[in-house]
């Protein structure tokens, strides 16, 4: 299964590779080896995007689950909120998933610039805020672009009711997803350096 919009990335290089391969097979090109090499390159590009846009089936984990695949970069309290921040590499699954059942209150674009996503000042980068109403109170999920990843793609809109573990968007080519939880209502179950999987790995539980 692939994320929405995958066809427009996978299709063109696959189509070019198929056409070039057909020309080689039909022997209608002056330099078959060169055209075959180009066909292989096109297939490699299509394969890269196929891996990048993969959207594997996931069964939701217990408690509050990670919104992104990757490695936890920070778990920290800021005022009345608890932050769990996950950094995604290029090879991670890039479809982001709801950390818990929620109604989407708003989806807003903000920020400027494309600093490396692991830096503290990347919080000002181009990003997208998803403000959610949940059973534990207001939750915010923020997709943050980076030096290479420059597009946040939403799959949901204000008013949507989205189940825990369901896809809500993706960031093209990596970067970071921050989940802000009401600190008085939860306790973190991960630490910086932990590997997590979107929709599956618990990152917090409701406090007793």
Taking the C-alpha atoms of residue 22 and residue 207, their distance in angstroms, rounded to an integer, is 61
Are 52 and 171 in contact by the 8 Å Cβ rule? The answer is no
Taking the C-alpha atoms of residue 189 and residue 64, their distance in angstroms, rounded to an integer, is 9
Residue labelled with tokens 């920290």? 76
Instruction: Give the angle 187-198-142 at the CA atoms, nearest 5°.
Output: 75
* Active-site annotation holds for 85: no
Q: What is the dihedral of CA 169, 201, 76, 131, to 10 degrees?
A: 30
Query: Catalytic residue among 59, 78, 85, 175, which?
Result: 175
Catalytic residues: 175
């Amino acid at each position: 299964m692939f994320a929405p919009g995958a066809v427009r990335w996978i299709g063109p290089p696959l189509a070019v590779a198929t056409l070039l391969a057909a020309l080689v097979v039909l022997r209608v090109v002056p330099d078959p080896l060169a055209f075959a090499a180009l066909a292989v390159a096109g297939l490699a590009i299509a394969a890269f995007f196929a891996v990048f846009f993969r959207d594997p089936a996931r069964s939701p984990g217990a408690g509050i689950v990670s919104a992104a695949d990757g490695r936890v970069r920070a778990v920290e309290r800021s005022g009345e909120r608890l932050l769990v921040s996950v950094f995604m590499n290029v090879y991670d699954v890039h479809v982001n998933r709801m950390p818990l059942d929620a109604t989407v209150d708003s989806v807003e674009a903000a920020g400027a610039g494309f600093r490396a996503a692991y830096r503290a000042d990347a919080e000002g980068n181009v990003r997208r805020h998803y403000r959610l109403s949940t059973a534990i109170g207001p939750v915010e999920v923020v997709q943050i672009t980076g030096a290479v990843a420059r597009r946040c793609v939403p799959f949901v809109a204000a008013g949507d009711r989205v189940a825990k573990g369901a896809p809500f968007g993706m960031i093209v080519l990596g970067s970071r997803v921050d989940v802000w939880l009401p600190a008085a209502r939860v306790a973190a179950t991960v630490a910086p350096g932990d590997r997590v999987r979107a929709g599956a790995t618990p990152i917090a539980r409701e406090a007793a």
